[in-house]
Amino acid sequence: MVAPTANTFHPLGEEDSSKRRQILDGGRKVFMDLGFDGASMNEIARSAGVSKGTLYVYFADKSRLFEAIVEDDALEKSKIAYNLDPKRDVETTLREFGRTYIGSICRPGGGSSIRTVMAIAERMPEVGRQFYGNVLAKTVNRLAEYLQAHVRSNDLAIDDCGLAAAQFLQMCQATLFLPFVFQAEPAPSAERIAHVVDSATRMFLATYRAKPA
């Protein structure tokens, strides 16, 4: 049986939005449990509680559905509230930023989309680029803009704020993210996150805090 082609137009009513959300949530669970290759449209329809015909009305195939889930995850992560007011002192801001960032990527279920995108990025490079640009790069850029503001006010001495921002995020991930994303360890506790982020903050400021004239 040939799958029906996805409609190019859906009514934008509340029921349509609710049904689409239902499908995204069901698909996310299947991709999380089975991975991209193991997931099937039959299993996704069953998980979402919709007919296979309804599923195909919204998404032509599981690749399109997965792309929509990645986009949805990116949107949710973009809503994470980072207080990067340039008027706030650097040490406090970095500690809060790091804890919030690690808490978001190391929460139970939080690494699933990253794992799945990593697994299929070579075959679906556009999905990889979309996830990187809309989630990872945006986070680095937001922090880099904050650091640049403090370079201008002579609190920090940084030649490349984009590099420095990426370095800080990598230091915050140390011993936390890779064991979590590869399921070698459970999600870290708030106390463990605070310990690692505090260490990252001290190392960062030891390198980049402006020296007194």
Rounded to 5 degrees, φ, ψ at 144 are -60, -40
Summarised one tens digit per residue, pLDDT across range 79-135 is 677 899 999 999 999 999 999 999 988 987 666 677 778 888 888 898 888 888 888
| Contact present, 166 and 159 (Cβ < 8 Å) | no
Q: Which domains, ranges and CATH numbers included, belong to the chain?
A: 14-69 (1.10.10.60), 80-208 (1.10.357.10)
Question: What pLDDT, on the 0 to 100 scale, is given for residue 124?
Answer: 87
Residue with the two structure tokens 């049904």:
19
14, with CB counted inside 10 A (0-12, 13-18, 19+), is exposed
Helix locations, the chain, DSSP H:
14-38, 41-48, 52-58, 62-78, 90-105, 112-120, 125-131, 137-152, 161-173, 177-181, 190-208
Question: What pLDDT, on the 0 to 100 scale, is given for residue 80?
Answer: 72
Question: What pLDDT, on the 0 to 100 scale, is given for residue 11?
Answer: 43
| Contact present, 188 and 105 (Cβ < 8 Å) | no
Closest-CA residue to 118 (of 108, 105, 109, 131): 131
Global pTM value: 0.77
| Contact present, 107 and 46 (Cβ < 8 Å) | no
Q: Which residues of the chain register pLDDT less than 50? A: 1-12
Question: What pLDDT, on the 0 to 100 scale, is given for residue 6?
Answer: 42
> What is the DSSP annotation of 50-101?
S-HHHHHHH-SSHHHHHHHHHHHHHHHHHT------TTS-HHHHHHHHHHHH
Please list, residue by residue across 147-156, b when 16 or more beta carbons sit within 10 angstroms of its beta carbon and e when fewer do.
bbbbbeeebb
User: Which residues lie closer than 8 Å to 9 by C-beta, 6 or more apart?
Assistant: none
- What 3-state class would DSSP assign to 209? strand
Question: What pLDDT, on the 0 to 100 scale, is given for residue 123?
Answer: 86
Question: What pLDDT, on the 0 to 100 scale, is given for residue 78?
Answer: 64
